[in-house]
Structure 1
C-alpha cells in the first residue's frame, strides 16, 4: 500500500506543471504584449492553443497509453513537455511562442490520460481511489488556480521566460523516478491510434475558433469560408466516428448517463474556472492598475478554496453519492457567479473573496465528482480511454472558456463603450476592439483626452465583465437541474 501512495506522488508531480501551464500566463497578458508586441488576437492564441491542442490529441494519446502502457506514455510525454518548455522560455516572436505552446500541448496530451490511468490501475478499491482522485483533483484544480499567482510572482522578480523554465527540474526528477518506481502494465498491442482523425479534429476546432474570434473585428468572406470548412471537417469527423469499427471516440461510453453527464459537468466547470480567471486578471490589471503579483494575490482565496474542495468532495462523495454532491456543486457555482456579477472588485474586495471561495469549492466539487464518477463506471482495461475522454472535456472546456468568455467580453465591450466625440476617427475601431488595444493606442494623445478614453474603456470593460458573469450564473442554474434529472442514485453507480 505504501508503494501505491509513492506512485501517486509521482503522478501528481508530473501532473502539476501540466495544470499550471493552462493558466500561468493569465496575469502575463500586459507583460507579454509589451515584450513581444503581441496583438490581442495573438495573445489569445498564446493562451488558448495549449488547451485546444490537448483537447484534440488527448483521445488518441489515451489509445496510445492502452497500446504501450501508461508508464511509457508518461515518460514520452514528460520528455516532450520538457523540450517544449525550453522552446517557450527562449521564444522571441509571437509565432515561436504559439508553436512552443502547441508543442507543450502535445506533451500534456500524453501526460494527462497517463496520470488518470495510473490512478485507476494503482488504486483498485473504490474508496481509496476516490481519496487518490481527491489528491489528483486538488493538484489539477489547484495548479490551474495557482497559475496566476505563480505567474505574477515570477513576473515581479524575473523575466517572463522563467514561467516555463520552472518546468524543467520537475520533468528531470520525474524522468528519473518513473523507471525506478512505477511498475509495467499489461498492454493492448492492437489498440488503434487514429492519429489522422485526431489531426482532423484539431484542425476543425482551430478553424472554427479562429474564424469566430477574427470575425468580431475583421468579418469578411474568408472568415465565412474558414468557418464552413471547419464545420464541415467537424461534421465529417463525427460521421466517421459513428460508422467506423475502430473509432477514436468510443461513443458507447456516452450511453452511460453517468459518463455523459459527468463530461458536461467537467467541461462547463473548466469553462468557468479558466474564463473567470482570465477576465478577472485583465480587470484587476487594466482597470484597477494592479501589478501581476497583486492580481495573483487577489485571486488567492479562489485558489485556496479549490485546494480545499478536493479532499472535501472525496468525503462527501463517499457518504452521499454523486447526484446530490454534483447538483449542490452546480447550484453553488450559479449563486457565486450571480453574486460576483453584482460585486465591485475594487471597492468590495471582501465580498468578492467570499463569492470566489464559494465558487472555488463548487468548481472543484464539479470537477472531482465528474472524474470519480467516470473512473468508477469503467473497467481498468477501459481506464486510459475513459481518462482521455475526461481529459478532453477538461481541456476543451479550458480552451472554450478562453474563447467563449473572450468572445462575449469583446461583444459586450464593443457594444457598451461610449467614446468622446473629439477622438480621431482612425482610432475609434481600435479603441473599441479591446481594453488592451485602447490603453496602448491612447498613449500619444493629450492628457485630458487620453484619460477620458481610458475611463470609457474601463467602464465598458466592467459592464461587459458583469454581463458575462451573470450569463454564467444562469448557465450553471440550468445545468444543476440537468444534473439532478440525469444522474442516477448512489446505489445505481457501477463500482
Structure 2
C-alpha cells in the first residue's frame, strides 16, 4: 500500500522502510503536505506570538519579570521536554491519531490562554500548549516520510516543512501586533481554532495512519527523568536572571544536571531507549544539532528584544512594529527557499557557514543601534540578516542531522532536531533576556531618585515594560534613563549573539565541509 493513499486502517510497516524503488507520490500526498504545513506554521507562530503583545499583556495581567519570562517560553520548553516521548508514543498508537488528539488539546488550551485572567493562569495555559504541541511536531514530520516514500520527494517535503515552521515563528510578532491593534492581546491564541478544525476535517482523507511494529513499551521512568533534568535547569536560569547567583538557583541547575546524568545512564542500559544515544557518535549529526541550537538561541532572544525596542523605545504601535518585523521576516523565506538551491552546487556546510557569517554581521549592527526612531532601519536590516541565516539553518539543518543518521535511526534523529529547535528559541529568550535584564538592572541601580515611592521604584528597576506601564507617574527624564538602560542590555545581548554565531560559522565550515552537495536529491 503506498503511503499517499490514506486509509482509516493503520499501516503496519517494518522499522526500516526506505525502498530502492519507492513509488512517487501524487497530488493527494502534496495536498496532505499542505495540510501538515498549517499546524507546523501554527506551532512556530505560538513561540513568538506574544513578542509584540507583551506590553499590553503586562498592563492587563501585571506579571513580574520572572512570570513574563515563563509566559514567553514555558510553551517552548515543555514542547522540547515532551518531543521525544510523544514521538515514541506516536509510533505506538498511530501518528495520525496522536496528531488529531494533540490538535484538539492544543485548541482547547489556546482558548484558555486567550481568556486568561491572571499571569499564573496564562503560564498554565502556555504549559498545556507546550505539551499538546509536542504531540503535533513529531507527528507532522514523521507523516511526511509516510506521504513520500521516494527519497527525493521526501527531502523536498522536509525542506518545505522546515521553512513553514521558520516562517511561522518569524511572523508570530507580525500576527500578534496586527491582532492587538483591533482586538485584545488574547485574540492571537484563537488562530489555532480554525486551523485545528480544518485539520480534523481533512486529515482522515489526506493523511495516512502509521504504527511501527516491533517496538518496546514506553519507558515511563525515562520520561520522568528527562523532565526532571530539564525543568529544574530552566528554573535555575530564570532565577539567576531575576535574583542573581543565589543558592536556590544554583541548586536547581545542579539538580537538573544530576537527573540528566541519570537519564543518560538509563538510556545506555535499555534495549529500547527513549533516546538513542548512538546517534551522537556521528560528528555531522552532533555539529548539525549544535548549529541548530545556538543559531536559534541567538535569533530567539533577538526577536524579543527588537520587538520591545520598536514599541518601548522607538514608540511604534504594535501593528506598525509588527509590519516592520514582517518586512525583516521576508529574509527568512529567502534563506529557507534559497539555501536548498544553493546546496545543489555548493557544499551544505559552506552554505550554512556563509549565511551564519551574514547573521553575525546583523547582530554586530545591533551593537551600534541608536536610541529612538533613528535606529529603526538599522534594527530591521540587522534582524533581516539574522533571519536570513536562520532560514538557511532551518532548511538545511534538519536535512543535515537526519541525513547523518542511519536509516533505521531517522525517526529518533528527527525528534532530536525538533527538540533542539524548540529548545533553542526558548533558551534564547531566557538567556538573552537574562543578559539584557542583568545589564538593565546594573545600569539603573543607584540612578533612581531618592524621593520615588517604593512601588514605582520597584517597577522601574524591574524592567522597561514595567516602567512603561506607569510612565505617566514617573518624574521627567526617568523614562529616558530606563530606555537608555534597555539599550545597554540589548547591545550586550547582541554582542553575545555576534560572538556565538561567528563561532558557529567557523564550526560549520570546518566540521561539515565533507558533506556533499544535494544535487542528487533534486
What is the Cα deviation at residue 389 of structure 1?
0.6
How far apart, CA to CA, are the structure 2 residues paired with 1:188 and 1:173?
A: 30
- Of the three residues 30, 36, 49, the one matched with 1:24 is 49
What is the Cα deviation at residue 240 of structure 1?
2.5
Q: Give aligned pairs, total.
A: 491
Q: Residue in 2 aligned with 1:403?
A: 430
Q: How does 1:25-424 map to 2 (within 5 A)?
A: 25-188=50-213, 190-218=215-243, 220-344=246-370, 346-378=373-405, 381-417=408-444, 419-424=447-452
- Residues 383-421 of structure 1 deviation map (CA, whole Å, 9 limit, x = unaligned): 332211111001110110111011101111122236155
How far apart, CA to CA, are the structure 2 residues paired with 1:488 and 1:63?
A: 32
How far apart, CA to CA, are the structure 1 residues paired with 2:197 and 2:480?
A: 48
- Residues 55-101 of structure 1 deviation map (CA, whole Å, 9 limit, x = unaligned): 11001111112223322221222122112112212221222211111
Moved more, 115-124 or 460-469: 115-124
What is the Cα deviation at residue 443 of structure 1?
4.5
How far apart, CA to CA, are the structure 2 residues paired with 1:320 and 1:492?
A: 6
How far apart, CA to CA, are the structure 2 residues paired with 1:423 and 1:260?
A: 55
CA contact (8 A) 1:51 1:396 kept: yes
In structure 2, the gaps of 5 or more residues are 1-25
Distance change >3 Å, CA 198–CA 461, structure 1 → 2: same
Distance change >3 Å, CA 223–CA 473, structure 1 → 2: closer
How far apart, CA to CA, are the structure 2 residues paired with 1:439 and 1:356?
A: 24
So what's the TM-score if we normalise by structure 1? Answer: 0.92
Distance change >3 Å, CA 442–CA 344, structure 1 → 2: closer
How far apart, CA to CA, are the structure 2 residues paired with 1:116 and 1:258?
A: 20
How far apart, CA to CA, are the structure 1 residues paired with 2:97 and 2:281?
A: 31
1:432 has 2:458 as partner:
no
How far apart, CA to CA, are the structure 2 residues paired with 1:275 and 1:476?
A: 13
3-state SS, counterpart of residue 166 of structure 1: helix
How far apart, CA to CA, are the structure 2 residues paired with 1:213 and 1:423?
A: 31
What is the Cα deviation at residue 469 of structure 1?
0.6
In structure 1, the gaps of 5 or more residues are none
Q: Residue in 1 aligned with 2:497?
A: 472
How far apart, CA to CA, are the structure 2 residues paired with 1:216 and 1:49?
A: 15
How far apart, CA to CA, are the structure 1 residues paired with 2:343 and 2:71?
A: 37
Moved more, 358-367 or 220-229: 220-229
What is the Cα deviation at residue 467 of structure 1?
1.6
How far apart, CA to CA, are the structure 2 residues paired with 1:23 and 1:473?
A: 21
How far apart, CA to CA, are the structure 1 residues paired with 2:378 and 2:155?
A: 33
Distance change >3 Å, CA 296–CA 123, structure 1 → 2: same
CA contact (8 A) 1:56 1:199 kept: no
Distance change >3 Å, CA 5–CA 39, structure 1 → 2: same
Q: Over the residues paired in the alignment, what is the CA RMSD in angstroms?
A: 2.3
CA contact (8 A) 1:279 1:465 kept: yes
What is the Cα deviation at residue 423 of structure 1?
4.6
How far apart, CA to CA, are the structure 1 residues paired with 2:411 and 2:87?
A: 5
3-state SS, counterpart of residue 26 of structure 1: coil
3-state SS, counterpart of residue 477 of structure 2: helix
Q: Residue in 1 aligned with 2:15?
A: none
CA contact (8 A) 2:222 2:263 kept: yes
CA contact (8 A) 2:215 2:272 kept: no
How far apart, CA to CA, are the structure 1 residues paired with 2:458 and 2:188?
A: 33
- Residues 216-252 of structure 1 deviation map (CA, whole Å, 9 limit, x = unaligned): 4445544444333333223322333334333222111
